[in-house]
Chain A
Amino acid sequence: MLQINNLHANVGDKPILKGLTLSLNAGEIHAIMGPNGAGKSTLGYVLSGRPGYEVTEGSVTFNGQDLLALEPHERAAAGLFLGFQYPVEIPGVSNVQFLREALNAQRKYRGEAPLTGGEFLKVAREQAGALGMDMDMLKRPVNVGFSGGEKKRNEMVQMGIIDPALAILDETDSGLDIDALRTVGDGINRIMRKPDKAVLLITHYQRLLDYVKPDFVHVLDGGRITRTGGAELALELERDGYKELAA
């Protein structure tokens, strides 16, 4: 589904990714772990096309398409979803309005008919309900006045509504208490643990992986993948730390 080949990327003049190679197949969940400043968030931004993140070398294909040639909204329509580490507030725009417009923009791009208000609300209600989110919150402005945990839960509701092929989740577990962590983990499994979907989990900690079992764990350090293993690698990292690993 996703092939990243020798990816180099700069933020400003500073090289952050330095030859990253990674391959995800449909049906797989991959976790990327690594110390602060390793380039984890940069990877998420580069893959979703954030302006200011410049690819200097390498290639990325997504279901056979040259992902890097697409605009951010085209990547979204192609089935890529980025769960934000710091979800952004948009005052005056309700969650419902935001998501309906976003979803219908994606559908239009793909040549599909737009969802009516009723159809959309049905989907939104289901997804909000499954993640224990009050419908009132869906009517509130996007992320405005939400707690850290509510924002992350909202990202998962968005993911459920958009129903992407590939989700890149950037530290979705940070700022969550134990109960919320379980809810979010269940959400990821329910929405994305499917034969035709894949997930790239970017995380600092092993604890989310108690709920979402990764098929592969990669260590990202110095802008490259330095080690790859199974779920047990995460436990090893938790025990020994990244320093030990580097040594």
Chain B
Amino acid sequence: MTDDIEIKDKAAWDAAEKVADYEHGWSSDIETDFAPKGLNEDTVRFISAKKNEPEWMLEWRLKAFAMWKTMEAPDWAKLNVPPIDYQDAYYYAAPKAKPKLNSLDEVDPEILRVYEKLGIPIAEQKLLAGVEGGEDGGLPQRRVAVDAVFDSVSVATTFRAELDRAGVIFRSISEAIKEYPDLVRKYLGKIVPMHDNYFATLNCAVFSDGTFVYIPEGVRCPMELSTYFRINAENTGQFERTLIVADKGSYVSYLEGCTAPMRDENQLHAAVVELVALDDAEIKYSTVQNWYPGDAEGKGGIYNFVTKRALCQGRNSKVSWTQVETGSAVTWKYPSCVLNGENSVGEFYSVAVTNNHQQADTGTKMIHNGKGSRSTIVSKGISAGHSNNTYRGLVRVAPNAEGVRNFTQCDSLLLGSLSGAHTVPYIEVRNPSAQIEHEATTSKISDDQMFYAMARGLNAEEAVTLIVNGFAKEVLQQLPMEFAVEAQKLLGISLEGSVG
């Protein structure tokens, strides 16, 4: 038993070292294996060949690419996005070899400062990988398996042995395509169809890597699963693909956390996440998104166009989305639940912070097809600076879905007088037995609250952080504990410079 733990810790440590190394060496030191710039059929073939994919996968990609060429980018969101030149980007970049460890001096001091403020400098990587130690011995040891996606290729997976014993499959999607082709084929593109939307179709054609998770029947995944997405190479589009299947009566909690180094060029990110929950299964999917939002003038941030959807296929199945969105120049994202199963449950808890010139148009869709299905939506938008923050949500009840319930709460908090908050609810009810509730509020941080907190000893930034965290509490408390602590600090950092 002891040996077991030691081996596991050793493996975790090694994996963490690897991740940490990349952390140090994110800049130009890594030799990148680029696909030629631009997007055409050859690019798609290049990616598929690089990954030694089976023929069916290549055909699927080519079909998507042909479809994408006939489509147009959506413009219905309340976002102001300059036209994207898809030919002026690289679609595949793999780190060639393990980079050598460089000194901390080579890392952008601004990024180091943020990490330090988060209280999670380099050691965090080790902690997250479940390595014992660190300054705070009082915390319970973290049980998180990390699958790091660095640029586009998954470089490290930890805890694999223990997960294997439980029958849990936790692989990069490229590995899974080769090792579990039947399972992947059964679900890939079934929740978010290939033709779903412009960005999802693009993803189908050029997705680089991502994560595949399968939890077998009746298994409670023995640890939190976590993937770190990092965008590293300049001008590289990031097209992640995630597929999680929870078989009957299983449970999994999955964490997705993101940071990105500073870049001057806008970077496109168009991920697709598909979740499937069968009878009595539960998936908890938590995201903390902190990609580079651009500078104070809004230049250079990440464009984040993500399609996330869960299929609650089974009776009593449940999917819970929790997201803390603080980064990116533009966020276009609507994690949704299709509630087909009888008495299935969908939840969406969201905090979206925008500062400076950031734009976020985010929300959810709850599609009630199953009898007695229920959904809860709690959205907290915080806007500062010149930013715009929009909640857009759809609640739809199908004619045959009896006894559906939905509760939606949308709260907006404004800082300063130049930011905007918008709430756009769509409610389509085709069954008279449904109970739908929608509550919405908009408020400002009052001068009274600020002064009260400051008179007790908090400086302006600490006061804002405290008040904002109070505002977002219902959402933050849905996060796994370690994540919640980071998220609280992140909210404060994201709002830096918005007061005073």
Chain A residue nearest to B450 (CB atoms) is A51
* B112 in contact (CB, < 8 A): no
- With a 10 A CB-CB cut-off, give which of B454, B457, B471 has the most chain A CB atoms: B457
* A58 in contact (CB, < 8 A): no
* B256 in contact (CB, < 8 A): no
Kindly list chain A residues whose C-beta atoms are within 8 Å of the C-beta of B64.
none
* B448 in contact (CB, < 8 A): yes
- With a 10 A CB-CB cut-off, give which of B454, B456, B466 has the most chain A CB atoms: B456
Chain B residue nearest to A86 (CB atoms) is B448
CB-contact partner of B457 in A52, A76, A88, under 8 A: A76
CB-contact partner of A91 in B451, B455, B470, under 8 A: B470
Min CB–CB distance B479 → chain A (angstroms): 15
Kindly list chain A residues whose C-beta atoms are within 8 Å of the C-beta of B40.
none
The 4 closest A-B pairs by CB, nearest first: A92-B470, A93-B470, A92-B473, A102-B456
Which candidate, A61-69, A103-111, A171-179, A191-199, is the interface stretch facing chain B?
A103-111
* B472 in contact (CB, < 8 A): yes
Please state if A88 and B458 are interface contacts (CB–CB under 8 Å).
no
- Contacts A76-B454, A90-B467 aside, 9 further interface pairs with beta carbons under 8 A come to A72-B455, A73-B455, A88-B452, A90-B470, A93-B467, A93-B470, A97-B466, A99-B456, A162-B456
Q: In the complex the two chains form, what is the Cα distance from A71 to B454 in whole Å? A: 9
Kindly list chain A residues whose C-beta atoms are within 8 Å of the C-beta of B469.
92-93
Kindly list chain A residues whose C-beta atoms are within 8 Å of the C-beta of B472.
92
- With a 10 A CB-CB cut-off, give which of B453, B455, B470 has the most chain A CB atoms: B455
Given contacts A51-B447, A88-B448, A90-B466, contact A102 B471 (CB under 8 A): no
Chain A residue nearest to B456 (CB atoms) is A102
Min CB–CB distance B422 → chain A (angstroms): 22
Kindly list chain A residues whose C-beta atoms are within 8 Å of the C-beta of B462.
73, 101, 105
* B474 in contact (CB, < 8 A): yes
Q: List 12 A-B contacts (CB under 8 A).
A: A50-B455, A51-B447, A52-B447, A71-B454, A71-B459, A73-B458, A73-B462, A76-B457, A88-B451, A91-B471, A93-B470, A101-B466
* B435 in contact (CB, < 8 A): no
* A87 in contact (CB, < 8 A): yes
Given contacts A92-B473, A141-B470, contact A98 B457 (CB under 8 A): no
Chain A residue nearest to B468 (CB atoms) is A92
Kindly list chain B residues whose C-beta atoms are within 8 Å of the C-beta of A91.
470-471
Kindly list chain B residues whose C-beta atoms are within 8 Å of the C-beta of A102.
453, 456-458
Total A residues in contact with B, Cβ cutoff 8 Å = 34
* B52 in contact (CB, < 8 A): no
Within B460-482, which residues are at the interface with A (CB < 8 Å)? 460, 462, 466-467, 469-474
Please state if A105 and B471 are interface contacts (CB–CB under 8 Å).
no
Q: In the complex the two chains form, what is the Cα distance from A93 to B456 in whole Å? A: 14
Min CB–CB distance B89 → chain A (angstroms): 42
Q: In the complex the two chains form, what is the Cα distance from A237 to B155 in whole Å? A: 80
Chain B residue nearest to A82 (CB atoms) is B455
Please state if A162 and B453 are interface contacts (CB–CB under 8 Å).
no
Please state if B466 and A98 are interface contacts (CB–CB under 8 Å).
yes
Min CB–CB distance A62 → chain B (angstroms): 14
Please state if A73 and B459 are interface contacts (CB–CB under 8 Å).
yes
- With a 10 A CB-CB cut-off, give which of A82, A89, A92 has the most chain B CB atoms: A92
CB-contact partner of A87 in B446, B452, B474, under 8 A: B452
CB-contact partner of B458 in A87, A92, A105, under 8 A: A105
Q: In the complex the two chains form, what is the Cα distance from A8 to B471 in whole Å? A: 38
Kindly list chain A residues whose C-beta atoms are within 8 Å of the C-beta of B471.
91-92
Kindly list chain A residues whose C-beta atoms are within 8 Å of the C-beta of B454.
49, 71-73, 76
Q: In the complex the two chains form, what is the Cα distance from A49 to B452 in whole Å? A: 11
Chain A residue nearest to B473 (CB atoms) is A92
Q: In the complex the two chains form, what is the Cα distance from A51 to B460 in whole Å? A: 12
Kindly list chain A residues whose C-beta atoms are within 8 Å of the C-beta of B452.
84, 87-88, 90
Chain B residue nearest to A45 (CB atoms) is B451
Kindly list chain A residues whose C-beta atoms are within 8 Å of the C-beta of B470.
90-93, 141
Min CB–CB distance A164 → chain B (angstroms): 10
* A42 in contact (CB, < 8 A): no
* A158 in contact (CB, < 8 A): yes
Within A98-144, which residues are at the interface with B (CB < 8 Å)? 98-99, 101-103, 105-106, 109, 141
- With a 10 A CB-CB cut-off, give which of A77, A101, A141 has the most chain B CB atoms: A101
Kindly list chain B residues whose C-beta atoms are within 8 Å of the C-beta of A75.
455
Please state if B457 and A105 are interface contacts (CB–CB under 8 Å).
yes
Chain A residue nearest to B476 (CB atoms) is A92
Please state if A73 and B457 are interface contacts (CB–CB under 8 Å).
yes
Please state if B451 and A51 are interface contacts (CB–CB under 8 Å).
yes
* A48 in contact (CB, < 8 A): yes
* B400 in contact (CB, < 8 A): no
Kindly list chain B residues whose C-beta atoms are within 8 Å of the C-beta of A162.
456-457
Q: In the complex the two chains form, what is the Cα distance from A51 to B462 in whole Å? A: 17
* B449 in contact (CB, < 8 A): yes
Q: In the complex the two chains form, what is the Cα distance from A38 to B270 in whole Å? A: 63
Please state if B451 and A76 are interface contacts (CB–CB under 8 Å).
no
Min CB–CB distance B351 → chain A (angstroms): 12
Kindly list chain B residues whose C-beta atoms are within 8 Å of the C-beta of A106.
457
Within A28-83, which residues are at the interface with B (CB < 8 Å)? 48-52, 71-73, 75-77, 81-82
Q: In the complex the two chains form, what is the Cα distance from A76 to B460 in whole Å? A: 13
Kindly list chain B residues whose C-beta atoms are within 8 Å of the C-beta of A49.
454-455
Given contacts A76-B454, A88-B448, contact A93 B466 (CB under 8 A): yes
Please state if A158 and B467 are interface contacts (CB–CB under 8 Å).
no
Please state if B459 and A98 are interface contacts (CB–CB under 8 Å).
no
Q: In the complex the two chains form, what is the Cα distance from A158 to B454 in whole Å? A: 14
Kindly list chain B residues whose C-beta atoms are within 8 Å of the C-beta of A86.
448
Please state if A92 and B474 are interface contacts (CB–CB under 8 Å).
yes
Q: In the complex the two chains form, what is the Cα distance from A97 to B484 in whole Å? A: 15
Kindly list chain B residues whose C-beta atoms are within 8 Å of the C-beta of A72.
451, 454-455
